[in-house]
A and B are shown apart, each in its own frame.
Chain A
Amino acid sequence: MDNNQILEAVERYIAGQMNPDERVYFEQLRKSNPEIDQLVVEHTFFLQQFSRFDETRKLKSILNETHIHLAEKGQIESPRLKGKARVVYLYNRYKRTAAIAASIAGITALTMSALIWQLSSHVKPAQEVQELRRDIKQLETKSNQLENKSNQLEKKVNIINDQTKVVKPLPAIEYKSGGTGFLVDTKGYVVTNAHVIEGARHVAIQGSNNTDMSAQIVYVDQARDIAILKITDKSFKSPASIPYAIRRSTADIAEPIYTLGYPRNDIVYGEGYLSARTGFNGDTLSCQITVAANRGNSGSPILNSKGEVIGILSAKQNTAEGAVFAIHSKYILNALTELQKDSSYKSIKIPASSSLKGSDRTQQVKKISDYVYMVKVD
């Protein structure tokens, strides 16, 4: 008998799969051979550990799922502190840190001004300026060379510009064109790209249940390519909360991201990473991501691993492989704040914290897909 056969016999013995004769024989072997006896004990322990590991893992994932589910239905208290309670909480938590930071800042400021005052009396400002000017002259020649190059590039860019414009109109089935949008307020406010709804007479939103809901355009910012729609259809049921948050700060390069959109009649998932903080041609409104994107993906949310929206997918560069651009999420927030100034939209609430943190990707996507819609335009 080789080792595997012994192990197999031990496993069958533990699982009670041996017939009575075999069992008697094996038990005798166990008594006479302490090594086999030890192996049975050890393997029983190991199998128990293995199944416990699995049970624990399963329960942990059920617990996470339950938490998101209950928070969404509003059956446990909202996962974030609001208003006054939050201020008091933050004050209590950080008062010591704040006091220390303030005193360090004070001391540093005093030291710095003392140093500057002391040093500045020895420095000859005129010389410094001269040195700087020389630097600039050197730079100037370099920049002349660069200008020539950039003239050449400009031609190419113009071609690319034309091509990116070509990406924009997006075909759909009944309506003439379409894209993707996602919910940012439980009352039915949906964010998408301005170019998706350009020249629209009617706008409809199609959810995961494949029914069309009519919607109305309430805000358009052509420059930032952001539009906000409101679902006006009676069949729209507003959820208790939105699982994802909208991130205020810029995401980091190489941060893994994923997106959900409607390049075809069914929701499609794609994943990738943030590849540059700026967008096409150094555009600071957007960032560059690497992810599979197709017509109809315009307006798709870009999310990070914590389930925070970091941008809206807006365009794709045809001349470069895999270069896709997304508008920074802070412009969504800006657009919403702008909209709140209008008294009839005062009640808009911006989702500030994500309840998806810690749950795995499949779970996140399952939750989010209910809040991502197809935007159809006539």
Chain B
Amino acid sequence: MKAEYNEKALLQGLARSDKKAVETIYKENYNLIQTLVVKNNGTSEDAKDIFQEAMMVLFEKVQSGSFELNCQIRTFVYSVSRRLWLKKLMQQNRMSLAEGHEEVVSVDGEMEEHDRRNQEFTTMEKAMGGLGEPCKSLLEAFYIQKRSMNEIASSFGYTNAENAKNQKYKCLNRLKKLFFSHHNGS
């Protein structure tokens, strides 16, 4: 019972991007994934990439608010990593996978969702990349760091908050245009 409670707490921590929770999950599961990848023609560098991507999948799952995995974190991370590494191997025309006796669950839905999220992330990354400064910093200051318009005006050097706000909407419209042109194109 206690283990179950801990797992739930860890997942809730992960949903908040809590460092302590991330570290605990990392510490307890990384070696397993490294063994899997290295045993199957991968490097420790590959293992790091695969494990971190699996952590992203877990993050996406708990972010939606459901902390009820129908299995242990270890099994979930292993199943996702296994899928991700198989996909990578298939791209290199190698199909086989040598494994130990680790339990595996189906993660089809999660993988589909993850691919979509990945796509969305790249789209936003591209749009932000095409935006340029000072628009990028201005939008991050307002929407991410949630700083007030007055603060932003003084740190960016606008004469007043009203001007900064106009500039912010100009930037926002440009970003939206870039984002939706990539988004609908892909």
Contact = CB atoms under 8 A, between A and B. Distances in A.
Interface string B11-24: 00000010100110
Looking at chain A's contact residues, the main secondary structure is helix
B179 A47 contact: no
B5 interface: no
Contacts of A81: 38, 43-44
B30 A46 contact: no
B121 A62 contact: no
A70 B38 contact: no
A70 B26 CA distance: 9
Interface in A73-115: 75-77, 79-81, 89, 92-93
B172 A53 contact: no
Contacts of B125: 53
Interface residues of A, number: 35
Looking at chain B's contact residues, the main secondary structure is helix
Nearest to A75: B27
A4 B169 contact: yes
B52 A63 contact: yes
A54 B27 contact: no
B143 A47 contact: yes
B159 to A, nearest CB: 18
Given A66-B26, A76-B27, A76-B31, A50 B19 contact: no
B38 A46 contact: no
A59 interface: yes
Interface stretch (B55-63, B72-80, B81-89, B105-113): B55-63
A89 B22 CA distance: 30
Contacts of A67: 26, 30, 48, 52
A133 to B, nearest CB: 54
A62 B31 CA distance: 18
Interface of B: 17, 19, 22-23, 26-27, 30-31, 34, 38, 41, 43-45, 48, 52, 55-56, 59, 63, 117, 120-121, 124-125, 128, 140, 143-144, 165-166, 169, 172-173, 176, 179-180
18 contacts: A3-B169, A42-B176, A49-B124, A50-B144, A53-B125, A56-B56, A58-B17, A59-B22, A60-B52, A60-B56, A62-B19, A63-B52, A67-B26, A67-B52, A70-B26, A76-B34, A77-B44, A79-B44
